[in-house]
Each structure stands twice: as C-alpha cells, then as structure tokens.
Amino acid sequence: MKRRQVPDGADRSAYDRALGMLARREYSQRELRTRLARAGCDEAESESAIGKLQQQHYQDDQRFGAMLVRARVGQGYGPARIRAELRSHGLADPAIRALLDAAEADWGALAVAQLRKKYGGRPAADHAERGKRAAFLLRRGFAAETVRIVTHSEVDDSRD
C-alpha cells in the first residue's frame, strides 16, 4: 500500500506538527515552541496549538519532567545535573523540587553504583585517584556532600 506523500509538511498546521511530535515522545512547552518556530510556524498559531494540546492533556510539563527525572536517574545522573536540565526545558524551581522529591532516589547509592560501573570494585589507589573519582561524580551532578561521603567511605571500607 502506497502512502500519500506530503511535500515537507508544507500544509500542516502548528497543531498537527506538535501533535505529531508528541505522538513520538514527551516534549516540554519550551521545546515545542522552539521546534515549531524552527519549522516556520507563526508564533500566535504555535501558542494556540500548545494551549489546545495542554487542554487535551497531550502536553504536560509535569509529566514531561517526571519522565525526564526517571530517565536521568536510570542513567545514573545526580540531582544537580537533572535540575539544570529541567531548568533548560523551562520548568519552574518549585516544580523541579517536587519532581526530585517524588523521585525518592537514593543519591548516595546511585553515586556508589556509578563509581563501581566506571572504576570496578577496586578502591582508589591514592589521593589523586580519589580526586578523579570525585570530579567524575561532580560532573554527573551529584552534590559535593554526597561525593565526599561516597569517596571517603570507599577509603574507610578498604581499610577494614
């Protein structure tokens, strides 16, 4: 069966484009706005389309944020990195705090798991190695206190 070809979506409305995007994955309002603008959609038409999609519960920043938090925790990222990414998508700080609290992630255990994944089960050989491991965890978005506890407990565990 042949599919009807539409020339580069020239006739598609902002609503149709946005709905098509949302059919594939969740998007934040900011992402949809940007992608619709890049596609050449009128700003007023885009705002109207996004508003309609929100009323129909097809677009929801809270749902998008929850999906992103779950995905990033699953990938081993810390709260600072996740918070920054949520901000870049236009979510407000109170909503971000609520999403991170709802995740109920054990950040310490997640940091330890990331260290084991990257460095295996062996403890840091020296102070410089421990510094490298701490820098790795900080880049992944873990809080300095969590990093300090995890890297120092690793040293304490190896002395037992």
Domain that holds residue 133: 107-159
Number of neighbouring beta carbons within 10 Å of residue 159: 6
**Whether residue 52 is found in the same domain as residue 37:** yes
Going by C-beta distance under 8 Å and a sequence separation of 6 or more, which residues neighbour residue 60? 54
**Whether residue 111 is found in the same domain as residue 151:** yes
**Whether residue 78 is found in the same domain as residue 92:** yes
Whether residue 6 lies inside any domain: the answer is no
Q: How many Cα atoms within 13 Å fall on the side-chain side of residue 121? A: 0
**Whether residue 139 is found in the same domain as residue 111:** yes
pLDDT in tens, 90-145: 999 999 999 999 999 999 999 999 999 998 888 888 889 999 999 999 999 999 99
Per the structure, the count of domains in the chain is: 3
Whether residue 22 lies inside any domain: the answer is yes
**Whether residue 47 is found in the same domain as residue 83:** no
For residue 77, give the nearest of 114, 102, 109 by alpha carbon.
114
**Whether residue 42 is found in the same domain as residue 74:** no
User: pTM for the full model?
Assistant: 0.83
Amino acid in the structure at residue 125: A
Query: Which parts of the chain fold into alpha helices (H)?
Result: 14-24, 29-38, 43-55, 61-74, 79-88, 93-103, 107-119, 127-139, 144-159
pLDDT in tens, 81-96: 999 999 999 999 999 9
CATH code for the domain in which residue 152 is found:
1.10.10.10
Whether residue 5 lies inside any domain: the answer is no
pLDDT in tens, 20-59: 999 999 999 999 999 999 999 999 999 999 999 999 999 9
